[in-house]
Chains A and B, each alone.
Chain A
Amino acid sequence: MLNIYLTIVLAPLIGSIVVGLAGNQLGRTLSHSITILGVAISTVLSLYVFNHHVLNDADIFNQNIYTWMQIGGLNISVGFLVDNLTSVMLVVVSFVSLMVHIYTIGYMHDDKGYTKFFSYISLFTFAMFTLVISNNFMQLFFGWEAVGLVSYLLIGFWHHKESAIEANLKAFLVNRVGDFGFLLGIALVLMFFGTLDYAEAFSQKDQIIGQTLFGGSAITVVCLLLFVGAMGKSAQVPLHVWLPGSMEGPTPISALIHAATMVTAGIFMVSRMSPLFELSDTALMVVMIIGAITALFMGLLGIVQNDIKRVVAYSTLSQLGYMTVALGVSAYSVAIFHLMTHAFFKALLFLAAGSVIVALHHEQDIRKMGGLRKKMPITYITSLLGTLALIGFPGFAGFYSKDMIIEAVHYSDLPYAGWAYVAVLIGVFITAFYSLRLLFLVFHGESRVDSHTEEHLHETGSSITVPLILLAIPSVVIGYLTIEPMLFGGWLDNAITIDSSHQAVAELKGHFYSAFALLTHSVVTPPFWMMVGGAVSAWVFCLYRPDWADQIQSRFKRTNYVLNSLYGFDRLNDIVFVKGSVKLGNLLWKISDMTLIDKVIVNGSAKLARYLGVLIRPVQTGYVYHYAFFMIVSLMLVLGWVLIASDYSFFG
């Protein structure tokens, strides 16, 4: 089995290196074939691993492959931990990556950096695998940083575009802030448990219960710091500001990285650390609250966006908030379930958006689209399926996962869980609203497309549409098929620990009968009616009476302004952190560097030496008898001192 795991991880890496180094010589066809072959091998093997571990219930594989270094008692090595959680993640990552690889053939067809792009996305796949399959914090962090790095490279892929460069720097810096917290968390883990290996650390977790750190409970601090890392990577408020900017990169990477895989690394990490998080109710509460805030407020922002990719980006942010809320109420399996379904339908939505963009010759403003369903049927149908999954239409994948999250929050008894429940419930309305607004504005209604583009408008090639179809299938069925085993059938039991005081999932289980029952029961649940309300509102404001939308916009100018300025996060970051850093740098330069170090210390010490020299110089008179006299007088003084110090014992 070890060889299979190694092949899964290394096949994309080899593809990436070969194409990265020799891409120009190999030519386009051969480059994309090599990388796709690598990722396809990983996909097939991941399915085999899934079958082996999850369906056939094999033992957990935990082994150190290679000892990187040994520092004192600390052993840092490369190791694989393959249990059910890993298997699920491997399948998701490899499948979506394969779809994106195939999609890229058509999407980046005209681009000069074709082979470089394939190399990067294969490299990303490798990094994500490393992160997911790791059995210790250090390798996790390596994978974490590596996906951040490749994300940076890919966002700024069109490096001649200034907005892309700004965006990729922003993404990297914000990620860095998260990584800083993450690294502190890892350091604390090392401090308290003495090891970076998951299994060893978790086996000692009970020792940390009573300890305190800086006045707070130690485990809370550790968990919060680890969550800061998750906040950076999974774009929770306030470290969410980089995700909309990351839309500057080509659409395939928006689908791969910023919808399905990298941003879910944070969710994965918290699930992996469930034994630790379960020990701290405070940390879980914070996680839940931040997730609820993200889910609600990011969804609101999705309503006012006019760029097709940004709508989907804010939708991603909102759905990540849902996953985080699920983590907060200790419903880890539900969060992973939603992660999986979301990966499929969000990747589908991004790729469909990309298909529209390519068809309209890189036009991204939805105010210039409309009525595309007649000319692009496949794209329309797959988008429709994805949207229905997203809004939680009964029977589709998203319905099962989102509803489970909402109910889990409902059953949770953490403080503020009630408020979180209200937030995620309203979020359903908002999700339905913006998703259907997007669908209607792009595919329905009258065409606002530029007439020149409209003449050439046709469905995109098969390399683009085939992945769309292949992603649409799981978006529809996978919820129905996997909800029972994953949440209640113990698929993830050997990876996730839930403390007995957190009863949310147990209650869910108590109320669950079957997937079909859930489907039929849905019409009496609040989320269903929220969704319907949102859908109807979208229809009204976008198709039926669009002028009402304009009226509301002009009436609620202030709200509109707040939403359009994205709650001012960007401005806050700019003023406080960017300008503040520049000012601090200037201050330090002027005061600390110029004055303190140069003038006082460097010049000052030279001046002091010279001054002392000037003081002492006259002693050297040049006359020998002066020197002799000094010697004699010193002799006299020393003798006197010795006599006195001997307590006047010479008297008597």
Chain B
Amino acid sequence: MEFTSILFYVFSLFFVGSSFVMITSRNTAKAALWLILTFFSAASLWLLLEAEFLAITLILIYVGAVMVLFMFVIKMLDTEESTLRAQFTRYLPLGIFVSLVVIVQMALVLNAGPFDLESVGMPEQHGASYSNITAIAQQLYTVYVYPFELAAILLLIAIIAAITLVHRTQVNSKKQNITEQINVQAKDRMRFASINKKSKKESK
């Protein structure tokens, strides 16, 4: 057993285990924490696959930003546990069954196909001076520069969308609502007030 194989099994155990615990946890905040552990195991796996840049990126951005966002929202909103647990056990068997079936199917497919060690072969490991970032950058800014720009625009749109969705107050604009103005009736603008006869005499 090579060391990398042992590492692979350890990390994948964490990966699968923490994801399983995450989905079965009752507390949303705890689920988020288990998800963070899942991401860490994924990043380790990626390191094994010589994708250092992406592994670090996963930690920094995904865990560092996205999961923090998740925590914000979880703490901000009131997640009632009672209603959320109500139908948990009812669909559990069916969900597990469907997932198991899909896993088995995938295993069958993947084992039989051209994904074996014999067909694919081990790729050569790069030396220590191999820089993943440089390699990615060389591809990203030349061949894939167009999707890169599009991704940037996509993020911009996401920002604008998120802001537009959430901000409460209308921008102060002196806009006329013509329909409302036309539909005004006298009773909206005027009301008859009755003046007491007594007070009238008094004022005189």
Check if A639 sits within 8 Å of B111, measured CB to CB: no
Check if B112 sits within 8 Å of A640, measured CB to CB: no
Check if A650 sits within 8 Å of B112, measured CB to CB: yes
Give per-residue flags for B102-114: 1 if the beta carbon is below 8 A from chain A beta carbons, else 0.
Answer: 1001101101100
Closest B residue to A649 by beta carbon equals B112
B98: contacting residue among A632, A643, A649, A650, CB under 8 A: A632
Does any Cβ of B come within 8 Å of A635's Cβ? yes
Chain A residues touching B, majority SS: helix
Distance in angstroms from B52 CB to nearest chain A CB is: 33
Check if B108 sits within 8 Å of A650, measured CB to CB: yes
What CA separation (Å) do A557 and B108 show in the bound complex? 103
Does any Cβ of B come within 8 Å of A633's Cβ? yes
A636: contacting residue among B98, B108, B109, B112, CB under 8 A: B98
Does any Cβ of A come within 8 Å of B101's Cβ? yes
Complex interface: chain B residues within 8 A of A643 (CB): 105, 108-109
Complex interface: chain A residues within 8 A of B101 (CB): 636, 640
Complex interface: chain B residues within 8 A of A633 (CB): 98
Known: A649-B112, A650-B112. A640 touches B105 (CB 8 A): yes
Check if A639 sits within 8 Å of B105, measured CB to CB: yes
Check if A650 sits within 8 Å of B102, measured CB to CB: no
Check if B109 sits within 8 Å of A639, measured CB to CB: yes
What CA separation (Å) do A650 and B152 show in the bound complex? 43
Complex interface: chain A residues within 8 A of B111 (CB): 650
Complex interface: chain A residues within 8 A of B105 (CB): 636, 639-640, 643
> What band does the interface of chain A fall in when counting residues whose beta carbon is under 8 Å from B?
10 to 19
Check if A632 sits within 8 Å of B102, measured CB to CB: yes
Give per-residue flags for A631-645: 1 if the beta carbon is below 8 A from chain B beta carbons, else 0.
Answer: 011011001101100
Complex interface: chain A residues within 8 A of B112 (CB): 649-650
What CA separation (Å) do A42 and B105 show in the bound complex? 97
Distance in angstroms from A643 CB to nearest chain B CB is: 6
Instruction: Identify which of residues 19-49 in chain B touch chain A, using a CB-to-CB cut-off of 8 Å.
Output: none
Distance in angstroms from A106 CB to nearest chain B CB is: 81
Complex interface: chain A residues within 8 A of B106 (CB): 639
What CA separation (Å) do A586 and B107 show in the bound complex? 70
Complex interface: chain A residues within 8 A of B108 (CB): 643, 650
Complex interface: chain B residues within 8 A of A650 (CB): 108-109, 111-112
Check if B102 sits within 8 Å of A635, measured CB to CB: yes
Instruction: Identify which of residues 172-200 in chain B touch chain A, using a CB-to-CB cut-off of 8 Å.
Output: none
Distance in angstroms from A628 CB to nearest chain B CB is: 11
Closest B residue to A639 by beta carbon equals B105
Complex interface: chain B residues within 8 A of A632 (CB): 98, 102
Closest A residue to B107 by beta carbon equals A650
Closest A residue to B105 by beta carbon equals A639
What CA separation (Å) do A643 and B106 show in the bound complex? 10
Closest B residue to A633 by beta carbon equals B98
What CA separation (Å) do A309 and B108 show in the bound complex? 102
What CA separation (Å) do A639 and B100 show in the bound complex? 13
Distance in angstroms from B97 CB to nearest chain A CB is: 10
What CA separation (Å) do A632 and B106 show in the bound complex? 13
Complex interface: chain A residues within 8 A of B109 (CB): 639, 642-643, 650
What CA separation (Å) do A591 and B102 show in the bound complex? 56
Complex interface: chain B residues within 8 A of A635 (CB): 102
What CA separation (Å) do A635 and B109 show in the bound complex? 14
Instruction: Identify which of residues 84-130 in chain B touch chain A, using a CB-to-CB cut-off of 8 Å.
Output: 98, 101-102, 105-106, 108-109, 111-112
Closest A residue to B113 by beta carbon equals A650
Complex interface: chain A residues within 8 A of B98 (CB): 632-633, 636
Query: What are 23 A-B contacts defined by CB distance under 8 Å?
Result: A632-B98, A632-B102, A633-B98, A635-B102, A636-B98, A636-B101, A636-B102, A636-B105, A639-B102, A639-B105, A639-B106, A639-B109, A640-B101, A640-B105, A642-B109, A643-B105, A643-B108, A643-B109, A649-B112, A650-B108, A650-B109, A650-B111, A650-B112
Q: A632-B102, A633-B98, A639-B109 are in contact. List 11 more A-B contacts (CB 8 A).
A: A632-B98, A635-B102, A636-B98, A636-B102, A636-B105, A639-B106, A642-B109, A643-B105, A650-B108, A650-B109, A650-B111
Which 6 pairs from chain A and chain B are nearest by CB? A650-B112, A650-B108, A639-B105, A636-B102, A636-B101, A632-B98
